Structure 1
Amino acid sequence: MEKIGKIFTALFAVFIVFSIAGKASASELTQKQKESYYNEYVSIIEETNSKYDKDLKIAPIQEFTQEDWKSPEEFKKIVTDMASQEWVPVPKGNDITPFASSVGTKRVTKYLSGVSVEITVTGSFYTVLSGDRQVFGNIQSITSKADKGTWTQLSYSPKLLDLNRTYSIDIGGNFVYNKVTDSTNIHVEFFCTPTGAIN
Structure 2
Amino acid sequence: MEREGQEKKDVGVLIERQDEDGEFVRDENNEEGTLEREDSKPTLNLSQKQKEEYYKQYVEIVNKVNEKKMGLSLGVEPMKSFKESDWQAPEDFEAMIQQDVEGFLAREREVIAAVSTDLKPGITDPSGVTTKQTYIYIPDSVKRIEVTAKFNTRLDSDQTGQIFSNVDTVTSELVGGFGTWEQTSMKSTLLDDGRTYHIYIEGKINTHDLIFEKAFAIEFECDGLGNVF
**SS of aligned partner of 2:14:** helix
Aligned to 2:30: 76
Q: Which runs of 5+ in 2 are unaligned?
A: 1-12, 22-26, 35-69, 73-103
2:124–2:131 CA contact under 8 A, matched in 1: no
**SS of aligned partner of 2:15:** helix
- 1:12-32 Cα offsets, whole Å, 9 max, x none, are xxxxxxxxxxxxxxxxxxxxx
Inter-partner Cα distance in structure 1 for 2:152 and 2:120:
23
The offset of 1:196, in angstroms, is: 0.9
Inter-partner Cα distance in structure 1 for 2:118 and 2:197:
16
Aligned partner of 1:167 among 181, 185, 197: 197
2:15–2:32 CA contact under 8 A, matched in 1: no
Inter-partner Cα distance in structure 1 for 2:219 and 2:201:
11
Aligned partner of 2:20 among 41, 50, 59: 59
Question: What percent identity do the matched residue pairs reach?
Answer: 26
* Letter paired with 1:59: E
Aligned partner of 1:117 among 140, 143, 146: 143
Inter-partner Cα distance in structure 1 for 2:145 and 2:32:
17
Q: Which runs of 5+ in 1 are unaligned?
A: 1-45, 50-55, 61-70
The offset of 1:106, in angstroms, is: 2.5
**SS of aligned partner of 2:223:** coil
Inter-partner Cα distance in structure 2 for 1:124 and 1:156:
14
CA RMSD in angstroms comes to 3.2
* Letter paired with 1:48: I
The offset of 1:182, in angstroms, is: 1.1
Aligned to 2:52: none
Aligned to 2:6: none
The offset of 1:82, in angstroms, is: 4.9
Aligned partner of 1:140 among 152, 168, 171: 168
Inter-partner Cα distance in structure 1 for 2:33 and 2:164:
39
- 1:98-144 Cα offsets, whole Å, 9 max, x none, are 59974322322245676542111111101111121110010111010
2:130–2:149 CA contact under 8 A, matched in 1: yes
Inter-partner Cα distance in structure 2 for 1:145 and 1:114:
20
1:100–1:198 CA contact under 8 A, matched in 2: no
**SS of aligned partner of 1:143:** strand
Q: Which has the higher helix share?
A: 1
* Letter paired with 2:182: T
1:78–1:112 CA contact under 8 A, matched in 2: no
TM-score (norm 1): 0.56
Distance 1:197 1:145, change over 3 A: same
Are residues 1:158 and 2:188 paired? yes
Inter-partner Cα distance in structure 2 for 1:94 and 1:158:
21
**SS of aligned partner of 1:76:** coil
TM-score (norm 2): 0.50
Aligned to 1:48: 15
Aligned residues: 136
